[in-house]
């Protein structure tokens, strides 16, 4: 792998790397020279992605981790430091979207969204904030990139809890930036509109599925690679430039 690529020497952690935006981000960051730690629950998907990246000359470390499990995330952070080196780029991407009307009382779905989309995001921040500050102290770039959603700003029937978790991720990111930016750690939040991934396939609410399918027919959605290239661009900027909040939309989505 060439030393002159935009992200050569960077050590990245990507959560939700087993599919969609996380997988595409892992491919893009590796192609641009970063070593990548791949976190998600589906081990076989991570192993196969790591094999692809290594075959192309990259460094990849697959780790089956539930992002909500504090001890497992902490253990992963130690393994990454030992096997890949000091982390300076974190893509906090794992998420679930399980819409339903609040009167249906699908409490387990609400709790799962809060656990993965919010608590999981904070587990990752907690595990990697020290290496990110250390990387910044060494004088190099250091990035925490959180994946939120246009849902952070939108109002959609049956998506209340999902949108609330994403509003929290956006606001969390801006507040963390106030804390970490003065120490040269860039905090960015990326808020995509519709992206073609597995995310929608886990939904069970019929009305929400019909709305999504109609949107899919009517407009051209983003691909995971579109979002991945935005992530890589954000991380590749000069150290003093922080793209703090990026809303990336399909052109036709209003």
- The residues binding ligand NAP (CB under 6 A) are 15-16, 18-22, 40-42, 66-68, 93-97, 116, 120, 147, 149, 192, 194-195, 197-199, 224
Q: Enumerate the H helices of the chain as residue ranges.
A: 20-31, 43-55, 70-83, 107-113, 121-137, 160-180, 206-218, 224-236
Based on CB atoms, which residue is closest to ligand NAP, 7 or 150? Answer: 150
Based on CB atoms, which residue is closest to ligand NAP, 7 or 40? Answer: 40
- Cα 221 to Cα 224: distance, rounded to the nearest angstrom: 10
Residue 162 annotated to the active site: yes
Q: Are 117 and 171 in contact (CB under 8 A)?
A: no
Based on CB atoms, which residue is closest to ligand NAP, 140 or 233? Answer: 233
Smallest distance, ligand NAP to C-beta of residue 9, A: 26
Smallest distance, ligand NAP to C-beta of residue 238, A: 26
- Cα 99 to Cα 152: distance, rounded to the nearest angstrom: 14
Based on CB atoms, which residue is closest to ligand NAP, 11 or 17? Answer: 17
Q: Rounded to the nearest 5°, which phi and psi values hold at 97?
A: -130, 105
Specify the pairing of strand 35-40 against strand 222-223: unpaired
Q: Are 57 and 197 in contact (CB under 8 A)?
A: no
Based on CB atoms, which residue is closest to ligand NAP, 53 or 136? Answer: 53
Which of 110, 162, 194, 221 is labelled catalytic?
Answer: 162
Name the one residue in this structure whose structure tokens are 């930036």. 177
Q: Are 11 and 35 in contact (CB under 8 A)?
A: yes
Smallest distance, ligand NAP to C-beta of residue 95, A: 2
Smallest distance, ligand NAP to C-beta of residue 196, A: 7
Q: Is 26 left (phi over 0), alpha (psi -120 to 50) or beta?
A: alpha
Smallest distance, ligand NAP to C-beta of residue 219, A: 12
Among all residues, which ones are annotated catalytic? 162
């Amino acid at each position: 792998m060439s030393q002159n690529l935009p992200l050569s020497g960077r050590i990245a952690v990507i959560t939700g790397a087993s599919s969609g935006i996380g997988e595409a981000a892992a491919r893009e960051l590796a192609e641009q020279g970063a070593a990548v730690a791949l976190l998600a629950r589906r081990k076989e998907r991570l192993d196969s992605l790591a094999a692809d990246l290594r075959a192309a000359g990259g460094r990849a470390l697959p780790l089956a981790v539930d992002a909500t499990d504090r001890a497992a995330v902490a253990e992963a952070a130690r393994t990454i430091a030992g096997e890949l080196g000091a982390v300076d780029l974190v893509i906090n991407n794992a998420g679930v979207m399980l819409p339903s009307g609040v009167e249906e009382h699908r409490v387990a779905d609400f709790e799962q969204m809060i656990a993965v989309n919010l608590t999981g995001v904070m587990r990752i921040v907690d595990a990697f904030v020290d290496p990110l500050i250390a990387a910044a102290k060494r004088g190099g770039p250091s990035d925490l990139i959180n994946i939120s959603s246009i849902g952070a700003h939108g109002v959609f029937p049956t998506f209340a809890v999902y949108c609330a978790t994403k509003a929290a991720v956006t606001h969390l990111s801006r507040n963390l930036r106030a804390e970490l930016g003065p120490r040269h750690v860039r905090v960015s939040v990326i808020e995509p509109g519709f992206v073609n991934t597995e995310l929608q396939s886990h939904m069970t609410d019929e009305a929400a599925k019909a709305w999504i399918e109609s949107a899919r027919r009517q407009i051209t959605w983003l691909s995971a690679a579109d979002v991945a290239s935005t992530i890589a661009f954000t991380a590749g900027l000069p150290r003093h430039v922080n793209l703090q909040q990026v809303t990336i939309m399909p052109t036709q989505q209003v």
